[in-house]
Amino acid sequence: MKGSSSSSTGYPTPPPSPKHDSGPAMNTSSSDPNAMPSSTSGVDGMSQSRQNTLQSQPSQKHEVSIFLAATESFSQKNTNCSIQESLDRFAPLMQQSKQEGYPVRAYISVALGCPFEGPDTDPHVVANLAVKLLEMGADEISVADTTGMGTAPRTRTLLRTLHEAGVRNEDLALHFHDTFGQALVNTMISLEQGIRTFDSAVGGLGGCPYSPGATGNVSTEDLVYTLHSLGANTGVDLEEVSRIGGWITGEIGKGNSSSAGKATMARLRREASA
């Protein structure tokens, strides 16, 4: 975000919450990237092959996850190698995973801002990496706002750049952190752009030791509540996931950062005592 001030951790001053449309009600699944067809098209041959692979393995319980970064600084800090070295290391792993029948999920970290290089991660770098990973055999790309710097305009720009590079919506997941409280705003933008798969964590847990200042992932409870408010069918029981979020944050002694989770638990306690 140009022209903004920065704190000692390199984080920009959080921007005002951007205005956005509420978006249409959608049948959204957090676990099935094929729950809804996308209205956009992309690199057809390899994408169709990946979709056929996923559809032929409905009972697959394991997958291989790989992580690389969209900036050289974060790549060196997080994985002690360059971006190209990451790609070179992944090639044989991905080939073996495919041979063994395991789907591969590739994460692109700091796609909307880097704690060492600032908030303006080049969306074309992210798109180029996504294309390379898909060509190498990745079944799904999780584009991660590791720092939580993402804003509505930059999220929209990134998704349009990915689309222009030929990356299909059904090959993408979005992974938002909520450092500046923008994760749900960015989720709304992503929904409007046709994305149907989102990462989250109960109680807003998560984080990265090499992303100073960043908070956890968007909470599953808040994400589910928002999607349900749009009329979406997620298949997730909000009450049960709220109980889990309350339990696990208590077990590890970390504050529950989910507004929807805490509100749901308060309602359940009131109903139980009535």
> What's domain 64-199's architecture?
Alpha-Beta Barrel (3.20)
List the chain domain ranges: 64-199
Chain-wide mean pLDDT for the chain? 83
pLDDT of res. 272: 95
- Mean per-residue pLDDT, 85-101: 96
Least confident residue range of 30-34, 78-82, 228-232, 252-256: 30-34
Separation CA 53–CA 98 (nearest Å): 10
Q: Higher-confidence residue: 79 or 52?
A: 79
Q: Residue 259's beta-bridge partner residues?
A: none
Percent of the chain with pLDDT over 70: 78
User: Would the pLDDT of 214 be above 50?
Assistant: yes
User: Would the pLDDT of 204 be above 90?
Assistant: yes
User: Would the pLDDT of 23 be above 50?
Assistant: no
Separation CA 96–CA 224 (nearest Å): 35
Q: Higher-confidence residue: 15 or 109?
A: 109
pLDDT per position as a tens digit, 184-198: 999 999 999 999 999
pLDDT of res. 181: 94
Of 243, 248, 223, give the one whose Cα is nearest residue 234. 223
User: Would the pLDDT of 2 be above 80?
Assistant: no
User: Would the pLDDT of 48 be above 60?
Assistant: no
> pLDDT band at 59, cuts 50/70/90?
low
User: Would the pLDDT of 267 be above 90?
Assistant: yes
- Mean per-residue pLDDT, 104-111: 98
> pLDDT band at 212, cuts 50/70/90?
confident
**Measured between alpha carbons, how far apart are the two ends of the chain, in Å?**
50
User: Would the pLDDT of 125 be above 60?
Assistant: yes
Confidence (pTM): 0.78
- Mean per-residue pLDDT, 13-17: 34
Q: Which two tokens stand for residue 204?
A: 């807003």
Amino acid identity of residue 22, one-letter, is S
pLDDT of res. 60: 57
Cβ-Cβ contacts under 8 Å for 269 (sequence gap 6 or more): none
Least confident residue range of 28-42, 156-170, 240-254, 258-272: 28-42
Catalytic residues: 208
Separation CA 75–CA 67 (nearest Å): 9
